[in-house]
Amino acid sequence: MASALGAVAAPKRPLNVLFVVSDDLTSTALGCYGHPLVQSPHVDSLARNGVRFDRAYCQYALCAPSRASFLTGMRPDSTRVLTNGPDFREFLPSHVTMPQLFKNNGYQAIREGKMFHMGVPGTVGTDKWQDAVSWTHNGSPQGKEQNSKGEGKNLTPHIGPGVGMQYVKTPDASEQADFDAANRAIGHLEKHRNEPFFLGLGFVRPHVPFVAPSEYFDKYPLAKIRLAERRANDLDDIPAVVARTLGNTAGNMKMNEDQQMEALRAYYAAISFMDAQLGRVLGTLDRLGLRENTVIVFQGDHGWHLGEHTFWQKRSLMEESAKVPLVISAPGRKARGQGCRALVELVDVYPTVAGLCGLVAPANLEGKTMQPLLDDPKRAHKIVARTQLTTPKVDGRAVRTADFRYIRWKAEGETAEELYDHRKDAREFTNLVNDRRYAAELGRHRAMVP
């Protein structure tokens, strides 16, 4: 529209997107989620400038299935990626992914690091599984992982790399993929500051091996480390099938208490190192004047056990494994620095980001936009959040409602169940399936499982 002086208003500039995913990061180990020891100042700062989702859940507690799900906006039963292996394109050859939608709408769609599945440490620095059609730039930073120079230890030598608790205190951050990823991201921001971009930045830490400069280990003296709360007979009411799905990550992975504290220190150090790389990128956004025109999403790909119920790693359907950190900061939204207790799912991220940027997402997405929650975090969103876990002989389904978690296992013709009342038992110590007082809730939650 022409002004009174005849000038034509400049068209509104499209919003950029910085989409950051941290690998194997649990919400229970971040300052903004209440951890008393972990130092994550840049994630915390982002939460103060956006909305922190306190009940966000992955759809599958394993890297490849979860990432295929939230990047396509489809549930694992639809992507048919149920292990760390298949490419979702085998089953959804023409589906438009989240970055691809932005690419198709004239954005620079840039990947640096792990966005779709990447085996850590085995395929760090390769483009395998990264879906080239989704990106205008498809970058895989290199990292030396467990071969980094420095002081290292393998706390679980009976378990192979990628699962075992192994760490390296390195003197040289420049050998690490996350350091390189941040450098590359900074270069892209400088190069594309004047055009719309979707920058997918995938950090591999804190995934094992826990590699970080020594200064980050020094932040966490062993004397200050506290192990997860334990209760006698905790495992007595958990179905036997659970141990089969967890394999060698149950039973504290045969670590004694001193080794467990070392593992926790290394995990925390890896988080603080990752957080520092995030800070470098956010600082560049600010330096270039891009923060106020950029939607920022920070999330994990799934949760992670840190000794709860003697479990470590992911691949469980309990709260610590299913719940994820999720922070969204979006220009022009009313809610800043607030926590949101609404149930949300990672499958909701795609329609949310597309909607914030005014793009029309594919009609077959299976999530629900969270945009209203960025203005009013107290709004309701969903009645249930769903997570699943599948092996060749086991099908596990979990539903999280406002007050309960229900899990149903089907294994070789047998069914086993778990029910936890989060109003009284947030750590899920007591399985209530056989408690007659909960018969009505058990029936209600059974009906929610497909």
pLDDT digits (tens, 9 = 90+) for 185-236: 999 999 999 999 999 999 999 999 999 999 999 999 999 999 999 999 999 9
Question: Does the pLDDT at position 68 exceed 80?
Answer: yes
Residue 213 inside a domain? The answer is: yes
Return the pLDDT at 85: 85
Distance of CA 103 to CAs 72, 108, 137, 198, 378, Å?
A: 14, 6, 10, 8, 33
> Residue 41 is part of which domain span?
16-383
Question: Does the pLDDT at position 53 exceed 60?
Answer: yes
Residue 354 inside a domain? The answer is: yes
Mean pLDDT of 382-395: 94
Percentage of the chain lying above the pLDDT 90 cut? 94
β 338-340/323-329 pair status: unpaired
Mean pLDDT of 269-295: 98
Q: Which residues of 112-129 are buried (b: 16+ CB within 10 A; e: fewer)?
A: bbbbbbbbbbebbbeeeb
Query: What Rg, from alpha-carbon coordinates, does the chain have?
Result: 22
Residue 408 inside a domain? The answer is: no
pLDDT, one tens digit per residue, over 244-269 is 899 899 999 999 999 999 999 999 99
Question: Does the pLDDT at position 3 exceed 80?
Answer: no
Question: Does the pLDDT at position 1 exceed 50?
Answer: no
Establish whether the linkage from the previous residue to 76 is cis, with ω within 30° of 0.
no
5-14, 54-63, 238-247: segment of lowest average pLDDT = 5-14
Region of 278 on the Ramachandran plot (φ > 0 left; ψ -120 to 50 alpha; else beta): alpha
Residue 426 inside a domain? The answer is: no
Question: Does the pLDDT at position 42 exceed 60?
Answer: yes
User: Tokens 């690490």 label which residue?
Assistant: 176
Residue 402 inside a domain? The answer is: no
> Could you give the CA distance from residue 386 to residue 82 in angstroms, rounded to a whole number?
15
Question: Does the pLDDT at position 431 exceed 60?
Answer: yes
Those residues whose C-beta lies under 8 Å from the C-beta of residue 433, and which sit 6 or more positions away, are 237, 417, 418, 419, 442
pTM here? 0.96
Mean pLDDT of 438-445: 98
Residue 364 inside a domain? The answer is: yes
**What CATH number does residue 272 fall under?**
3.40.720.10
pLDDT, one tens digit per residue, over 73-132 is 999 999 999 999 899 999 999 999 999 999 999 999 999 999 999 999 999 999 999 999
Residue 391 inside a domain? The answer is: no
Question: Does the pLDDT at position 174 exceed 90?
Answer: yes
Tokens of 46: 């982002």
> Could you give the CA distance from residue 215 to residue 151 in angstroms, rounded to a whole number?
12
Question: Does the pLDDT at position 392 exceed 90?
Answer: no
Residue 160 inside a domain? The answer is: yes
Percentage of the chain lying above the pLDDT 70 cut? 98
β-partners of residue 327 are: 52, 298
Return the pLDDT at 5: 46
β-partners of residue 395 are: 390, 410
Could you tell me which of 326, 324, 323 has the C-alpha nearest to residue 398? Answer: 323
Domains in the chain: how many in total? 1
| Residue 417 one-letter amino acid | E
Mean pLDDT of the chain: 96
If residue 199 lies in a helix (H) or strand (E), which one and from where to where?
A: strand 197-206
Question: Does the pLDDT at position 11 exceed 70?
Answer: no
